[in-house]
Amino acid sequence: MHTLRASKYGLAIKKLPPSIIEVIDVLTKAGYEAYIVGGGVRDLILGLNPKDFDAVTNATPAQIKAAFGRRCRIIGRRFELAHVYIGRDLIEVATFRAPPKKEVTSAQGMILRDNNWGTIEQDFVRRDFSINAMYYQPRKDIILDFCHAIDDIKSKTLRFLGQPAKRFEEDPVRMLRTLRFAAKLKFNIAQDIVDVFTPNMAKLLRDISPHRLYDESQKLFTMGQLNQVLPLLIQFDVWKQIFADIPPTINPFIERVARNTDQRIQVGKSINPAFFYAVLLWENFLERTQFYLNKALPPAEARAQAGLDVIKRQCTRTVIPRFTETFIREVWEMQVRLMSPKPQQIESLAGHPRFRAGFDFLYLREKSGDTTTDGMGQWWEEYQHLSRDEKEIVIAKYNRQRSKKRHKSTETIDTQEPLVKDERPRSKFSRRVKTTNVTTDGITTADRHVATQSTSSENIDFKHPILKRKRVQRDLAHVTFGPTQ
Ligand code: ATP
Ligand code: MG
């Protein structure tokens, strides 16, 4: 074991948030050993901004609870931990772990329960990578390095503690962690890890619960190096294990959004991991929509059913929580509305809670070369920056163009299919389209036609009396969209 001077490696109390210092101090005062460990120490040494700080101690969860009282909650069964709340921060405090007992390991070697308390020497070998096993005591200005981790930091190498195959079998999620850290830190994966990281090994991820895989997928999406990690997921056959039916190719849309996501994180903007799921599943959604359209389902129903199917399939690998599902389906549904808005709905669409996400999605589709958006991404981009008067003018212009297009297409299509899904029973006299052309965005030519149907006169502009009527204005203020509302 080497004791390093922390300040020599750029670590200092002033670089730590007060919450983690308080955790260390409270435990120390109560007579326990306490260290900062894991990503916080690693990232500070590398000059990165740590995502969070984790603490480790020789106090058991019950003793941690006694030291922090109501500010502490014990969580987890497989892996018992203390959550300590200091102000707005949440600090995870783990207890030193000894090797797990034999009887809590599955036939495949996976550790099912891991609550065997031990010493710091036993604890460090239980951690995954050497660079995640440095113990920092800020009050003493020391780092305990049991495994030459500092050399691996210098040579930018991801090295497992112990035999890689055994470490993967114990916990297959370490495969995802390997790729995540390789991409995030721009480290090389040690050759002995690469050697055992085979497609067969990746199959072990099937034993991981969809909840845990969803959590891990979110970490992949939000770490700021999404564009680097996606090819690695494909290369190591992990993609297939976590993304059910999504073809393992990074199409221009996925690539564009991944880059955009990383840029947003870099400048401190918020991102919603559900957005990336919506992007990944988009092609599957379009295909499934087509499948239902071929069965002569009305477009809105086809889309709704396709959305359900595609998300249900993905749930067999990573859970998609209800609010995430709603978000994804709303973003997809928004595509239809933004592509062919009724002129009188444009203003309220722009104020819709899902407008931002729906517009970003459309715009990024367009920017990545999807021509089926018909330039509407750019149209909305410009629309948002206009003054009120200018908006009225462009809506009128848009309206005229739609009417012209409508006239061209009325000879070939005749349908009363609503743009917004209508839950009411269909009249047996209403006509159905036998064949419907679907573009790659899942918007049928029938949809486009219907969108323009509302405009009975070719040249309605913002001065048209109907737009001035109080009732119309009131109705527009309450427009709701689609089945996923
Ligand atoms: P980051 O927080 O930046 O994602 P991290 O290394 O801190 O990275 P956490 O998931 O916060 O990752 O875990 C904290 C520490 O717990 C790790 O650094 C590692 O020492 C240990 N650890 C976490 N998950 C595992 C695992 N599956 N196997 C072994 N050790 C793990
Ligand atoms: Mg961490």
Q: For residue 98, how many other CB atoms are within 10 A of its CB?
A: 16
Mean pLDDT for back-to-back runs of 10 residues, the chain (485 residues): 94 95 97 97 94 95 96 89 95 91 69 80 94 97 96 97 96 97 97 98 95 94 95 97 93 96 92 94 96 94 95 94 94 94 88 93 96 92 89 87 74 36 34 36 38 33 46 42 34
> Which two three-digit tokens encode residue 149?
């981790």
What pLDDT does residue 411 have?
A: 47
What pLDDT does residue 473 have?
A: 47
Q: Rounded to a whole number, what is the distance in angstroms from the first to the last CA of the chain?
A: 58
What pLDDT does residue 104 have?
A: 65
- CA distance readout (Å), 253 to 219, 227, 267, 283, 480: 21, 12, 21, 10, 28
pTM: 0.81
Every domain of the chain and the residues it spans: 1-155, 434-470
Residue nearest atom 3 of ligand 1, based on CA coordinates: 39
- The SS3 assignment for 221 reads helix
Rounded distance between C-alpha atoms, residue 166 and residue 442, angstroms:
46
Spacing of C-alpha 218 from chain mean position: 5
What pLDDT does residue 410 have?
A: 57
Inter-residue contact 79 to 53 (CB < 8 Å):
no
Q: What sign does the dihedral 409-411-412-413 (CA atoms) show?
A: positive
Rounded distance between C-alpha atoms, residue 166 and residue 367, angstroms:
45
- The one-character DSSP state at 96 is P
Q: What CATH topology corresponds to 1-155?
A: Beta Polymerase; domain 2 (3.30.460)
Element (H, E) at 126: helix 120-126
What pLDDT does residue 270 have?
A: 86
Residue nearest atom 22 of ligand 1, based on CA coordinates: 127
Q: Which ligand is nearest to the CA of 127?
A: 1
Helices and strands: H and E segment counts in the chain: 24, 10
Inter-residue contact 245 to 313 (CB < 8 Å):
yes
- The one-character DSSP state at 134 is E
Q: Is residue 207 flagged as an active site residue?
A: no
Inter-residue contact 472 to 344 (CB < 8 Å):
yes
Question: Active-site residue among 43, 128, 237, 370?
Answer: 128
Rounded distance between C-alpha atoms, residue 406 and residue 202, angstroms:
52
Inter-residue contact 114 to 78 (CB < 8 Å):
yes
Ligand 1 environment, Cβ below 6 A = 38-39, 51-52, 54, 127-128, 132-133, 171, 173-174, 177, 219
What pLDDT does residue 438 have?
A: 41
